[in-house]
Amino acid sequence: MIYAIGDIQGCFDSFRRLLDLIRFDPARDRLWLVGDLVNRGPHSLETLRFVKGLGDAAITVLGNHDLHLVMLAEGHSKKRDDDTLDAILAAPDREELLAWLRHRPMMHVENGFALVHAGLLPQWTVAKARKLAGEVEAALRANNYREFLANMWGSEPPSWRDDLSGWPRLRVIVNAMTRMRFCSAGGVMEFKAKGEVTDAPAGYLPWFAVPGRRSADRVLVTGHWSALGLKIEPNLLALDSGCLWGRHLTAVSLPARKVFQVDCAGEDVS
């Protein structure tokens, strides 16, 4: 059985309770994790070690908090007041953990499902997006990956063009797959609004609601948008149900779509 699970963000106790609820057996089952394994929750180090230890039983795509950790470790991102990454950065196995994280995919495609942290721009088919994800993965795994990290963050350019090259090209791919919530019908991304769908800025839509979205022929499995909550549509499984904020951690079985949830109200995120 495959179980897709929403953003964990270091809420390890809730994660383990969810695995108990679904009776997860790594010899039989697989986990699809939507990214943001770490940060803001209390047990990022334990989460990272545990998921790494699952080997092939877990597939996790990279989220914005995961990339923030990698960049912070290399001096290319600033520590934020609400970061909870110190234990990882001070761990004796930090380099092994960070290298493992850096080698995770941006996107995973299998049996009509596409797993990605935030979303896909409306002009991308799943096949094209998977190829673009590979470009970022190659840069993260290259010997000169630190040069990419130094140029990865930023909100420009805000939209995709096929003729983009170099760091701007990779930056748009990263932003769409790990940061996007709203975009225009033409695929211009907006990064400031983080609230509910009804909070969309003028001229913008939730990325998944853009008419004619070319990835709509597949089921996209995503996280990232806690204000959206659990959203299940024929071609979308949005699984960030706000565990970090004391709501729920969600798993959905694939392809049956049976929903499993644990209450995160008791998770100590202070």
Q: For residue range 125-166, what is the model confidence (pLDDT) as tens digits?
A: 999 999 999 999 999 999 999 999 999 999 999 999 999 999
> What range defines the domain where residue 100 resides?
2-263
Q: Which H or E run contains 176?
A: helix 166-178
Q: Which H or E run contains 12?
A: helix 12-21
Q: Specify the number of domains making up the chain.
A: 1
In this structure, is residue 270 part of a structural domain?
A: no
- What is the distance between the alpha carbons of residues 242 and 11, in angstroms, rounded to a whole number? 11
In this structure, is residue 23 part of a structural domain?
A: yes
- What is the distance between the alpha carbons of residues 74 and 152, in angstroms, rounded to a whole number? 12
In this structure, is residue 142 part of a structural domain?
A: yes
Q: Are 66 and 152 in contact (CB under 8 A)?
A: no
In this structure, is residue 268 part of a structural domain?
A: no
In this structure, is residue 269 part of a structural domain?
A: no
In this structure, is residue 170 part of a structural domain?
A: yes
In this prediction the pTM is 0.96
Q: For residue range 196-243, what is the model confidence (pLDDT) as tens digits?
A: 988 899 999 999 999 999 999 999 999 999 999 999 999 999 999 999
- What is the distance between the alpha carbons of residues 257 and 232, in angstroms, rounded to a whole number? 9
- What is the distance between the alpha carbons of residues 114 and 34, in angstroms, rounded to a whole number? 10
* 253 three-class SS: strand
Residue 123 sits in a domain of what CATH number? 3.60.21.10
